Chains A and B, each alone.
Chain A
Amino acid sequence: MTTRRAFLQIATAAATPVALGGIPGINPRTGHHIVLFEDSQPQAGAFALRAQSQGFATRAIRHGDITEAWLKSVRPAWERRPASIAGLTTPAALFCFEELAFARGLRVVFHAEHILLPDGSAQHQVQRAGHALSASALQRAGSRWPQRLADSLAASRLPRMARPGPSLASLEPALPAGATLLTSWIIA
């Protein structure tokens, strides 16, 4: 049976060469429309800087409020055609984009959580591995994990299919005292 996602993937694949060229901000190497980042977290800022250097258009989100990014950047792009987006944001921001993406046949194909501990270190957990990046690779990168994350976005093509259903972005995990949670993701 043709699923909504498969249907849209077929339509998207058929239109890719022309459509990608028509969307401002699309990175032709990966197909990502834009990379979003949480402006209030230095790690996310470092991620965005690296993504910019890789040729991505980036847009800041402040304190998890996606309104401006949604209205001025992502929605206009998605009205032309469903294009993939990526980010290092709060879980709430991912949750919002994920909900909005469902109606366009897009899903979260990569989802990792980054627990920022009070001592400055970070722990990583990949929740949905539709991407060639592992938690251990991020752990090995030490404090430069945001750059490693951005590099991996630029290096790999998107997967064709992911685990069904919504991600766990709407429900946060328990964290150690004083820790903060960032989430990295690809919607495609």
Chain B
Amino acid sequence: MLPPNVSSADFNRAIAAWKQAVGADWVFTSDEDVALYRDAYSPWWDEPDERKASAAVAPYTVEQVQAVVRTANQYRIPLYAISTGRNLAYGGSAPVYSGSVVLDLKRMNRVLEVSERNAYALVEPGVSYFDLHEHITKQKLDVWVDPPDPGWGSVIGNALDGGGGWTAFPFRDHFGAHCGMEVVLANGEIVRTGMGALGNSKTWQHNRWGYGPWVDGLFRQGNMGVVTKMGFHLMPRPEAMQTATVQGAREEDIIPLLDTMNLLENQLAVNGSTSLFGGMRIPGMPGSGAAMWTLQLPIYGPEKVVRAQMEYCREKFAKVPGATFTEGELFRTPLDEATLNRVRKVSFGVPDLSTFGMLGRNPQNPAPPGGHIGFSPIIPRTGEAVLEYLRFYTSNLQAVSEGGTLRFVGPVFMTNWDRSLVAMIMFPIGRDKVMNAKMRAAFEKWVHLAAERGWAEYRAPAGFQDLCAKTYSYNNHALTRFRETIKDAVDPNGILSPGRYGVWPKHLRKGR
């Protein structure tokens, strides 16, 4: 496969230049090697529209990234940058624009610095949560990482894709917890953001704002540059963690329950990643028993403070009629191995891969398809919005699921971020192409139906990024046009990740 609109001669010249820059062993052009960059959960698997790469290049240093980008610019070859390529359910390592060359950064896997005193890390894109956790453990540093499910992905990649984790605020908002970037622009120039722009900066990972307009957001879910280093603030190991479980029996209880939980979170009396279950009877999920709603409220901090905050939470929920409040076990850290083996590890800063076990076949999930894609609209964090979403879901389910023949998973309400909920529905993807096509059609219907209600996605699989971007349509898509204006200015040849999150370079916009 050739990149679109690139001659065979030019592609060969670019390949030769990349081999010169990164070494012949790290430029992959054979079908066998390039196939490894397919999206394992692609809803177009083995169909003509499956997004595929034409080649891959794996640099080891930022200088090599610069060389690769300059060559791509010379021959106008689209690149698609990945960190470790584990953004499963959102496209994996496959490019948005078929035929792009994957710029695979997983060899850049150095943990450059971890400061215990100021609780931050500086890492390269190939550093996974496992790697960072191992480094911290080996160095006996008293800080935690905040792993997502699962922990094999890139710390930088997860942040740039808008991922989140499971420990305390603000660390579990991975982009929000970053502090400073190094970026290779489309012309090969290196930019450092925030305080890193100072030639001899001593505060790159200490202060994220720097001086003047803040540009880091351009690189979140973006295609304006290739991020080659990124700083993150880390949580000092909390002394203790305790979770309260609150339940309500009636449908309308969700309104005061959520109001109370929001207050406690916005006060930071509850700082852990809360959970909301219920409303729909989902087998195996907490909240599917007698209670209609179940909230879980983890609190991290010094033991005395955790106990005081727990008492404060109890008082607040006592004012909600009918609510039950149960304190869970108080865990003192660091956990011993036996305790760690009976808790959810990611809640204690320990990355794992247990998600894949949970997604597998079990009595609650007798027919897992293996693959899945996620529909993840953001809705307000109110009980009224939750009830409206559930009514919306149930009233449309028959039609979208073709009379119940398509099995979706959800909705699951996720509380990763304050002041909003992600009302996620998962679409199984399997080997059956006809069924996959139906799932794609259903996904599109949910996107349109949700947009009509004012709900839109925070993150989308590669093949649906245009669709979801179009729902952000205020003032004739002014935000998209603004992004395109920037794109055309900083990447005039449109070589960096064309189409990522709906931002296309000028020469590829026609007809989209």
Contacts and interface: CB of A to CB of B under 8 A. Distances in A.
B353 A66 contact: yes
A84 interface: no
A79 B345 CA distance: 24
B28 A93 contact: no
A95 interface: yes
A130 to B, nearest CB: 13
A169 interface: yes
Given A67-B353, A164-B31, A175 B367 contact: yes
Contacts of B430: 171-174
B352 A172 contact: no
Contacts of A91: 360, 370
Nearest to B435: A174
Interface stretch (B38-46, B112-120, B276-284): B38-46
Interface in B339-360: 345, 352-354, 356-360
Contact of B25 (A4, A63, A65, A99): A4
A67 B134 CA distance: 13
Contacts of A103: 106
Contacts of A78: none
A4 B33 CA distance: 7
B152 interface: yes
A96 B367 CA distance: 19
Given A64-B360, A95-B40, A171 B429 contact: yes
A65 B354 contact: yes
B368 interface: yes
Contacts, number: 104
Contacts of B452: none
A100 B30 CA distance: 20
B356 A93 contact: yes
B40 A92 contact: no
A172 B369 contact: yes
Interface in A90-135: 90-93, 95-96, 99-100, 102-103
Interface string B357-382: 11111100011111100000000000
Contact of A166 (B28, B35, B345, B354): B35
Most chain A CB inside 10 Å of its own CB: which residue of B353, B369, B371: B353
Q: Size band of the B side of the interface? A: 35 or more
A148 B114 CA distance: 50
B35 A100 contact: no
A152 B345 CA distance: 37
Given A90-B357, A169-B370, A174-B432, A5 B33 contact: yes
B322 to A, nearest CB: 36
Interface residues of A, number: 39
**Would you call the interface of chain B mostly helix, strand, loop, or mixed?**
loop
B28 A3 contact: yes
B356 A96 contact: yes
Contacts of B360: 63-64, 90-92
A17 interface: no
A181 B431 CA distance: 15
B36 A165 contact: yes
Nearest to A67: B352
Given A63-B362, A70-B353, A95-B40, A171 B367 contact: no
Contact of B35 (A70, A165, A168, A173): A165
A71 interface: yes
Interface in B32-57: 32-33, 35-36, 38, 40-41, 45
A173 B369 CA distance: 7
Given A173-B431, A174-B432, A92 B33 contact: no
Given A96-B353, A171-B45, A181 B32 contact: no
B369 A180 contact: no
Interface in B2-51: 24-25, 28-33, 35-36, 38, 40-41, 45
A95 B368 CA distance: 14
A70 B35 CA distance: 24
Contacts of A65: 352-354, 356-357
Contact of B370 (A7, A92, A166): A92
B86 interface: yes
Contact of A99 (B31, B40, B45, B432): B40
B356 A95 contact: yes
Contacts of A92: 356-357, 359-360, 370
A4 B26 CA distance: 8
A174 B366 CA distance: 11
B90 interface: no
B40 A166 contact: yes
Contacts of A70: 353
Interface string B402-443: 000000000000000000000000000111100000000000
B106 A165 contact: no
Most chain A CB inside 10 Å of its own CB: which residue of B25, B31, B429: B25
A170 interface: yes
B20 to A, nearest CB: 15
Nearest to B367: A175
A14 interface: no
B106 A170 contact: no
13 contacts: A2-B24, A3-B32, A67-B345, A70-B353, A91-B360, A95-B356, A96-B356, A166-B38, A166-B40, A170-B371, A171-B369, A172-B361, A172-B369
Given A166-B38, A171-B41, A171-B429, 12 more contacts: A1-B29, A3-B28, A63-B357, A92-B356, A92-B370, A96-B152, A164-B32, A165-B38, A166-B36, A170-B41, A170-B370, A170-B371
Closest 5 CB pairs of A and B: A165-B35, A164-B32, A64-B357, A65-B357, A170-B40
Interface of B: 24-25, 28-33, 35-36, 38, 40-41, 45, 86, 106, 130, 152, 345, 352-354, 356-362, 366-371, 429-432
